[in-house]
Amino acid sequence: MKIFIKFDFTAICNKLLEEKLNELEIKYKVLGFGEIEFTEKVSQEKLDALNDALNEYGSEIVENQKSILVQKIKDTIIDMVFNDDTNINVKSSVYLAEKLDHSYGYLSNLFSEVTFTSIENFIILQKIEYTKQLITNNELTLTEIAFKLNYSSVAHLSTQFKNTTGITPSAFQRIITKRRELSNENK
């Protein structure tokens, strides 16, 4: 039997962080996505243990200022793309500059310097990942997905999807449908 699962990455990350902090008996408060403040002094031993625990899940404590800001840029983009409450019709450059209180030029240059890719490419990757989730969940048509993610047309979405994944969204949709059919036949 095969099932399909819808993920809420923010909830998963918050739950993981909460569990690890509680296991280590570290007192904290959440300031924002991926940002916590310790409410008491934490030993280097506990910080190392927390970092080791997070590393098992592909996460880590960010320590230098440039890396911290780049992580905030990534988190803000992910929130912008995946969060249904966000008004994605705002230009991403304006959204990032307002949310992070820095000029877009500075954010863009820093992001490129640290990650060796552009903010625009990162946004496209996140939109394509979200598109794959929406297609897999079978909740929206491609037209609705294109509108939801602020694409000018389905053709624009399809071009970016194909450039990123190597297949069109329609082909991806057919693959998912075929897998579901095969899964249902094998029950």
Give 38-47 pLDDT, tens digit per residue. 888 888 888 8
Token pair of 159, please?
Answer: 């071009």
Q: What pLDDT, on a 0 to 100 scale, did the predictor assign at position 172? A: 94
Q: What pLDDT, on a 0 to 100 scale, did the predictor assign at position 103? A: 94
Q: Which residue has the higher pLDDT, 140 or 185?
A: 140
CA distance 108 to 177: 39
Segment 57-78 mean pLDDT: 86
Task: For 83-144, give the DSSP string.
Answer: -TTS-TTS-HHHHHHHHHTS-HHHHHHHHHHHHSS-HHHHHHHHHHHHHHHHHHHT-S-HHH
What residues form DSSP beta bridges with 45?
A: none
Token pair of 161, please?
Answer: 């999807």
pLDDT tens string 140-184: 899 999 988 889 999 999 999 999 999 999 999 999 888 888 888
Among candidate residues 156, 132, 130, the one with its CA nearest the CA of residue 143: 156
Segment 61-68 mean pLDDT: 81
- Longest distance between any two alpha carbons in the chain, whole Å: 57
Percentage of the chain modeled with pLDDT above 70 = 95
Q: 32 near 164, Cβ under 8 Å?
A: no
Q: Which residue has the higher pLDDT, 75 or 10?
A: 75
Confidence band for 1, pLDDT divided at 50, 70 and 90: low
Q: What pLDDT, on a 0 to 100 scale, did the predictor assign at position 88? A: 54
Tallying the residues shown for the chain, one arrives at 187
Among candidate residues 62, 72, 74, the one with its CA nearest the CA of residue 123: 74
Question: For the chain, which residues make up each domain, given as ranges?
Answer: 7-61
Inform me whether the pLDDT recorded for 32 exceeds 90. Answer: no
From the number of C-beta atoms within 10 Å of its C-beta (0-12, 13-18, 19+), residue 157 rates as buried
Q: 39 near 28, Cβ under 8 Å?
A: yes
Q: What pLDDT, on a 0 to 100 scale, did the predictor assign at position 33? A: 66
pLDDT tens string 123-144: 999 999 999 999 998 778 999 9
Looking at every residue in the chain, the average pLDDT score rounds to: 87
Give φ, ψ of 32 to 5 degrees.
180, 180
Q: What pLDDT, on a 0 to 100 scale, did the predictor assign at position 186? A: 74
Q: Which residue has the higher pLDDT, 65 or 89?
A: 65
